[in-house]
Amino acid sequence: MQFERPQTPPPQPSLKAVISPLTPCKAWQLDEFARKHIYGVDPETGQWGILPGRFSKFQKGVVAAALNGEKASEELIQVNVATNARKKRQKGDQRHIQKGGTIYVYDARLRVAEREKEDARKKGRAVAKGKSTT
């Protein structure tokens, strides 16, 4: 007595990778993408054709979003350029004027002015006491 074994199904054909189009980012890419995909089955009539309502809404929204994205990226570039220019400008004010690190020239000038005031005060005190310092 033989048992009937179920047969192994034949191998399935290999599935081809589904390649979707690249996501458009720029305004002109979005417009081009929309123009290629405006055809479809109209849900009201069931006919194949251009879907003007969908297309116009899609196009307006997508173009606005793309323009906002482009504007944001341009503003980011401008901010980075301004930051780099500011750093470059400020780098000229930093000089090694003492051992042990970088000090701003403005701070060094303040220290010199304070030192000169202190020297003048000491000199004035010495003159008042009758001692001469030369």
The DSSP code sequence of 82-93 is: HHHHHHHHHHTT
**Residue range 81-107: mean pLDDT, rounded:** 74
Among 72-81, 98-107, 118-127, which stretch is predicted with the lowest mean pLDDT? 98-107
For residue 102, what pLDDT is reported? 62
Segment 88-117 mean pLDDT: 76
Number of H helices, E strands in the chain: 3, 4
- What is the pLDDT confidence band of residue 104, given thresholds at 50, 70 and 90? confident
Q: Is the pLDDT of residue 93 over 70?
A: no
